[in-house]
Amino acid sequence: MIKSMIRFILLIVITLTGSGSWIQPAIFRDEPAIATAVVDPFITAQTIAMRPDYVTDLTYQDWDRYTIQIQLDPAALQLSGNLTVRLTNRTTVDFDTIWFHLYPNHPDFGGRLDVTSARIDDIPVSSRTLHNDTLIGLQTPHPIAPGQSTTVTMTFTARTPRNASRKSFGAYNLEAGVWSIASFYPMLARYIEGIGWDTRPIVSRGDFTVSAIALYDVTVEAPVDWQLVTSGSQLEQHILADGRQRVRFVSGPQREFYLAALQGLVATSADVDGTRVISYVQANDPDAGARSLAIATTALRIFNQRFGAYPYAEFEIIQAALTQFYGMEYPGVVLIEQRLYQRNDHLLETTIAHEIGHQWWYGLVGNDAQGEAWLDEGLASYSQILYYEMIDNLTQAQAELDAFRAAYRRLRERGGDAPLATPPSELGNGRYVPVVYAKGALFFHALRQQIGEAAFNDFLQGYVTAARYREIAGPDLLRAAEEACACTLDAMFHNWVITAEPVTIP
């Protein structure tokens, strides 16, 4: 991580109302703001994690705030710590229970996360769990009214497996010098207006995490010989009397906080449009580090141009033992399966481009990955094609498109087609990837053909501008596309997304 001086800014206050979909008018950077002489230390600390031109995003909304302190014990594969969440009820109903996800308790993680105490507004509270301890509900000592803020504090412990990527989720595992500790803390569930808290059981198919934007301030204690890599940026580091290190990280507005501790990996770095890009690879293959860094910097630069600016000060890419999948995205960090670095084909390049695409489609523009996975996976997959087009490798762009066509065609031939809006839980029998990734990517290619190149570019830019830091659903995407083309796309959306009509493969 990069250590630098905190940028001092005169903070602005922007008041937003409501929550959920971005049906509300978008807030743009040049709207009038009210200056205040009251400097919020939490927000001021966060500025180091943002590119200077995007520091004002920190006050785009009164974000929920996580403050976490943890101690890592790599030898025991354990961590322990405490968490404080300051959250605001942005709904129209009182809260009598506040729900948190405990993702490591899902069987696919192969580990454990236990909450050992809980308080709300400094009052001890009772709790209950659902779905094999993957959700914990804290009963509030008094109703939390709409517009009211409250503070939740918890202590917790967690443990991960070792060398388990062949049988469990490789992003929660110590293997090949990477202790990847994804989703290690109790994570606030979303509240969906008109529906309630998102307390669905977690399905294994697709991405696990569904979360809203928050700010993070995380302090980690660990042995000094472990390199810490996280979402966000390093604010300060201290070497303790016992030889351990205490490192503080801050995030900017993001959907979750990722943490890894590395041993034996080497780093290379470069700057892209004000963002520091760092690639970590195993020490026995330094050429792989240069290659992955070159791909990552190219992809970030291209997507900045095509989608709109990546607003954060850092981005990191880690060679890791994932085994069962090629890549995994987190805010500001992506993991890439280690075997891809030794291949001579385009799979490493394609995977890095895909996962960096997720920094927009999932990171900046959020969606329900457990309900409408095509919204991020389909567009991240289509970003692979856009990447190759923009580096003028039209042969590989065509190859990517042909691969999606072939996968979707095989799905249809065996009678497995399904609407894009189908939840992952209903896409068994090998249908998840060809529907969500292949058909999803082909939808965006068909959209591009129907509305034209100029309107499609306007759609991508306008979609990010309007939906930045929000969670959207299929109808929101439809509205953004129709605004870009000044046309009606109901029939196309119906045939591809709502039903499984026999559409023409573009």
Q: Catalytic site residues?
A: 355, 437
Q: Report the 10 Å Cβ neighbour count for 266.
A: 16
Phi, psi (5° rounding) for residue 136?
-125, 130
Whether 106 has a binding-site annotation, put simply, is no
CA atoms lying within 13 Å on the CB side of residue 433: 8
**Would you mind telling me the total number of residues written for the chain in this entry?**
506
For 87, residues 6+ apart whose C-beta sits below 8 A from its C-beta are 64, 65, 98, 149, 150, 151, 152, 188
Q: Report the 10 Å Cβ neighbour count for 147.
A: 11
Contact by Cβ (8 Å): 314, 332: yes
Q: What is the dihedral of CA 315, 317, 323, 329, to 10 degrees?
A: 10
What span, in angstroms and rounded, lies between the C-alpha atoms of 68 and 468?
A: 25
Residue 432: name the closest of 351, 383, 374 by CA: 374
Whether 453 has a binding-site annotation, put simply, is no
What span, in angstroms and rounded, lies between the C-alpha atoms of 356 and 362?
A: 10
SS3 147: coil
Whether 354 has a binding-site annotation, put simply, is yes
**DSSP calls for 278-293:** EEEEETT-HHHHHHHH
What span, in angstroms and rounded, lies between the C-alpha atoms of 267 and 289?
A: 7
List residues bridging with 221 in a β-sheet: 71, 246
Specify binding-site residues for Zn(2+).
354, 358, 377
Q: Name the binding residues.
A: 354, 358, 377
